[in-house]
Amino acid sequence: MDALQKKFLDLQEAIQSNMTEISNAKDALELQREDSLMRIKVERRLLEEEKSQMTEVMKFQTKIKLDVGGYKYTTSLATLTSIPDSMLGAMFSGRFPLEADESDGSFFVDRDGSLFKHVLNYMRDPVSFDAPMDREVARDLMREAKYFGLQGLSNLLED
C-alpha cells in the first residue's frame, strides 16, 4: 500500500504543480491581454485625434491663397495635397496647424515666388509638365523641388 500511496501523492503533487503552472500562465496571458487592450485604446485615441485633425482640412476653402516670397497664388486644396508625401501635401493635410494672414487669408511660404508657378504646374499635372528650357531656371527649380519634397520633379529636372 505504501507504494500505491506514494504514487498517489506523487500524482497529486504533479497535478498541483501543473495547476499552478496553468494558473501562472493564465495570469500572464491576462496581463498580456490587458496590456494589448491598453495599447489598442491608446492607438485608437491617437487615430481619433488624427482623424479629427484630418477633418480640419475640410475647413480649408477649396481655393487656397498663398503668398510665396511676395508672389500671390491661388490654387486648390486638391493641387496642394496631390502629392501627399511632399512638404505642401503634409502642410495642407490637416495634420499641422496653419494660420492664414489676417489681412488677406493667405498662407505664407518663404520661398522663391517666381519659381513657385512651376511647382504648382508640376503638382497640377506631373505627367504633362514641361521642364523649363532655361538652365539657370531649371537649376533653381531643382533646389525648390528638393525643398518641397517633389522627388518626381527633381528626377525630371535631372534628365
pTM of the model: 0.63
* pLDDT at residue number 8: 86
The closest of 20, 26, 113, 19 to 66, measured between CA atoms, is 113
* pLDDT at residue number 128: 93
User: What would the pLDDT profile of 2-12 be if each residue is shown by its tens digit?
Assistant: 888 888 888 89
User: What would the pLDDT profile of 103-156 be if each residue is shown by its tens digit?
Assistant: 999 999 999 999 999 999 999 999 999 999 999 999 999 999 999 999 999 999
Q: What is the DSSP letter of 106?
A: -
* pLDDT at residue number 107: 95
Q: Give the residue-averaged pLDDT of 69-94.
A: 93
* pLDDT at residue number 47: 85
Give the separation between CA 22 and CA 30, rounded to whole angstroms: 12
* pLDDT at residue number 1: 67
What's the gap between Cα 21 and its chain centre? 44
* pLDDT at residue number 37: 92
- Cα separations in angstroms, 103 against 72, 106, 107, 108: 13, 8, 11, 12
